[in-house]
Amino acid sequence: MPDSHEAPDAKSPTPGASSEDTPLVRAIGPKLLILFIVGDILGTGIYATTGKVAGKVGGALWLPFAIGFVVALLTAASYAELVGKYPRAAGAALYTQRAFKVPFLTFIVAFMVMCSGLSSASAAALAFAGDYLSALVDVPPTLVAILFVLALAALNLRGVSESVKTNVVLTLVELSGLLIIIAIGVYAVFAGEGDPGRLGDIQTSGDTGYAVLTGVMGATALGFFAFVGFEDSVNMAEETVDPARNFPRALFIGVAVTGTIYVLVALVSSLLVDFRVLEKSSGPLLEVVEAGGVSFPPELFAVIALFAVSNSALINIMMASRLCYGMANEGILPAAMGRVLPARRTPVAGIVFVSLLAVALVSTGEIEGLGDTTSFLLLCVFAVVNVAVLVLRKDRVQHRHFRTPTVLPVVGTLATALLASPLADRAADVYVRAGLLVALGIVLWAVNRAFLGIAARRR
């Protein structure tokens, strides 16, 4: 079982262990932290990619989500130990730097996290402009998706207070939508509706054992997109009351709540709708509502779904723009990326930069590919974090903190690495898209290094 750990030979307190070592206000208590984590995870993944996962695995739609649930818990255990040990904002980049002390690797990890937010926001934009919106009005999807990104950029520019307040409301709305789906499923079961035989039907691109294995892995890798978000919450460590104590519990509860909801939604979706119908829809849960035999207005559910995907996009653009701003302030990206809008005190350069990248991704991608790109980038980051927690065992700290059993990060490393590997049946364009994004980061890093070198020589 996980336990608390205190190094008996520690010489000095770890930075962040007390409430007096940060200029930020520790205002987030245990209950609010759990709500924040649940809201961070819920969103586009389950609302938009459920059908695409069904297309990879068939009626056994629940299986990839169940496996993804386990992998998310394994990685959450590593984050729980690290955020308790080093309760500072910066997340994966901080843990990578402490473990390996290679600035370039730290930069790559941070930039991959930022890019994952952009691909996730772009997938959300396309989901917003897809079947959910078409249930209400007929408009050009790509144009709407681009305007949607620009509208969120404008909200971000207005101020973080407005963004956070909007996030709380949207979290409650998106949670209600998933509970409606589960309720429809319960009603359908008692009414004798649906086809339970679909739940064990695995349909992959081939019938051999290898094809089934890679097909399930590919579906799990795409379905894992629904679980991402908990890793962002560790950036709130300096604003959380007693993070070493509260974060581990909140992470596990948050992942457990969302994972349980996801598996139930997947079971209901497969029970009521054929996987071929789900696969063709960019609004798969709307298909479930219409097939459920309940007089629930599809238009109302479409509005709920639109709020849900809006929340995902908003959170991810906020995260990516702040990460860009932070890297600029640390001298990792060009200083111009750190410019702030004087009147609103928002990172205008970071917001503009990430929004333009998101628009480019919307123009060239589709929901499945962008969702898979998000999963791939974060699975790579999670593999590094799972290794980092083992490397950092030799770094002893004075305060007590959660310590995960060693077997969990070991299995977590293997699981995330396998799902990120070519063994997971994903399209080649996912690797190309991720590679181009990382290459852009490397170019920015090199340009910044060159300018810093020129400035140093002039001095």
- The region, left, alpha or beta by phi > 0 then psi within -120 to 50, assigned to residue 426 is beta
Dihedral of the alpha carbons of 211, 216, 217, 221, in degrees to the nearest 10:
140
Residue 137 reports pLDDT greater than 50: yes
The answer to whether the beta carbons of residues 418 and 424 sit under 8 Å apart is: yes
* Nearest residue to 310 via CA among 166, 454, 110: 166
**pLDDT: is 377 or 293 the higher one?**
377
Give the helix, strand, coil percentages of the chain, each rounded to 5.
75, 5, 25
Interstrand relation of 401-403 and 3-5 (parallel, antiparallel or unpaired): antiparallel
pLDDT at position 456, please?
61
Q: Collapsing DSSP states into helix, strand and coil, what is residue 206?
A: coil
**Average pLDDT of 139-154?**
91
Amino acid at 186: V
- Which residues lie closer than 8 Å to 231 by C-beta, 6 or more apart? 75, 79, 91, 92, 113, 378, 381, 382, 385
The answer to whether the beta carbons of residues 371 and 155 sit under 8 Å apart is: no
Distance in angstroms (rounded) separating the CA atoms of residues 73 and 246:
16
Share of the chain above pLDDT 90, in %: 51
Band of residue 39 on the pLDDT scale cut at 50, 70, 90: confident
**CA dist 183 to 154, 197, 261, 269, 331, Å?**
36, 20, 11, 12, 51
pLDDT in tens, 89-106: 678 888 998 999 998 999
**Helix residue ranges per DSSP H, 50-139:** 50-57, 62-85, 92-100, 103-128, 131-134
Distance in angstroms (rounded) separating the CA atoms of residues 332 and 91:
16
**pLDDT: is 354 or 456 the higher one?**
354
pLDDT in tens, 202-240: 988 777 888 899 999 999 999 999 999 888 778 777 767
Residue 287 reports pLDDT greater than 90: yes
Domains parsed from the chain with CATH numbers: 22-452 (1.20.1740.10)
Distance in angstroms (rounded) separating the CA atoms of residues 250 and 30:
7
Calculate the average pLDDT of the chain: 86
Residue 364 reports pLDDT greater than 70: yes
pLDDT at position 165, please?
65
> Following DSSP, what letter does each residue of 252-306 receive, concatenated?
HHHHHHHHHHHHHHHHHHHHHS-HHHHHT-SSHHHHHHHHTTS---HHHHHHHHH
**pLDDT: is 298 or 4 the higher one?**
298
Q: What are phi and psi of 403, to 5 degrees?
A: -130, 120
